[in-house]
Amino acid sequence: MSEDPAEISANRAEREKLKLIPVDDLLVAIKNGDKIDLEGADVQGDLDINKLELERDEDGFTRIDSSIRIVNSNINGATKLNKAIFRKSIVFSGTKFEGDASFEFSIFEKLADFSSAIFNADATFWQARFQ
């Protein structure tokens, strides 16, 4: 099945407007507890906190002290933010997740906004808690 040429052109034009962000930049910010605030970004790579050598508590949870705001963006890779405790707000409104997105067992202590997000592959929130 081939895509409509007009759709391919529209997708290409949309991506060309986005600012390329290597996923390693985001992972370093998360590791350092820095604020992430992106709009119109094209994140390249797997956003996987398991790549970081972060301390885990006795139950195996990773504490994330960064506020994360990635809106109207694309994440071109898997998103693995499972078994994390998000201590600050996390906003992915209008963001497209192109790979699998896993938030299994995660705890969202503050705002968790996925409004108008698009998941183009599997998205799992199994046993996630929103407080």
Predicted pLDDT at 5 = 52
Q: Is 2 helix (H, G, I), strand (E, B) or coil?
A: coil
- 11 Ramachandran zone, left/alpha/beta (phi>0; psi -120 to 50): alpha
Cα separation values, 103 from 9, 62, 64, Å: 32, 12, 13
pLDDT at 122 over 90: yes
Task: Give the integer Cα–Cα distance in Å for 106 and 103.
Answer: 6
Tell me how far apart the alpha carbons of residues 16 and 28 are, in angstroms, rounded to a whole number.
Answer: 25
Triad 37, 41, 46: Cα angle to 5°: 95
* Residue 103: CB atoms within 10 Å: 23
Query: At residue 8, does pLDDT exceed 80?
Result: no
Q: What's the whole-model pTM score? A: 0.84
Q: 101 and 118 in contact (C-beta within 8 Å)? A: no
Under a CB-based contact definition with an 8 Å cutoff, are residues 103 and 81 in contact? yes
The whole-number average pLDDT for the span 35-44 is 96
For residue 14, the model assigns a pLDDT of 53
Residues shown for the chain: 131
Q: Check: CB of residue 97 under 8 Å from CB of residue 123.
A: yes
